[in-house]
Structure 1
Amino acid sequence: MTPRALPFVLIAALLTGAGCTELPPVEQSVDAAGLAAPYPDLVPTAWLTDDLPDPRLETGDAAALEARGAALRRRAAALRRDISG
C-alpha cells in the first residue's frame, strides 16, 4: 500500500466501523418528561439575514481577484520548483 492511500483506507475503515454501530432506541435515551413535552414552536428565520451588510464587491473587484489568484498560482509554482529543484 502506498503512503498516499493510507489516509483513504483509514477513513474507509472508520466509516465502515461507524456504520456497524448499534444505536439505542430513542425511547431509552429520552426520559418520560422529554417524551411528554410539547413540540417546540417553529419561528421564522428571516431575521437571521436581516442584519447582513450589503456585499462589498465592486465592479472592478472580479478582475483584481482573478489577477491576485493568478499571481498566487505563479508564486506556488515557483515555490514548488525551488523545493523539487
Structure 2
Amino acid sequence: MFSESMGRITGLVPSRFLTLLAHLVIVVTIFWTRDINVQASLPPDFTSEEYEEEDLNVLPASTEVILVIAVFVLKKKSF
C-alpha cells in the first residue's frame, strides 16, 4: 500500500487513525458517564463506602484517556 510517487502509506494510516479515534471516543464516553456506570454496578441500597470502592475500579479508564491523549500530543513522527 505504498504510493510510488510520494512514498507514503495510503491505506494503513487512515485506518489506524480511525481506530485510535474511535477508541478515544468510546473511552471518553465511558469516563463522562462514570457516575451512572458506577451506580449501575451497585445494588439499589449501596453505601457511600461501596460507591467509593467501586469508583476506584473505574480509575484505569481515566488513566487510559490520559495516555491516549498523550500519545496523540507527544507523538513526533508524522506519517
TM-score, length-scaled by structure 2: 0.28
Greater helix content: 2
Larger radius of gyration: 1
Higher relative contact order (CA 8 A, sep 6+): 2
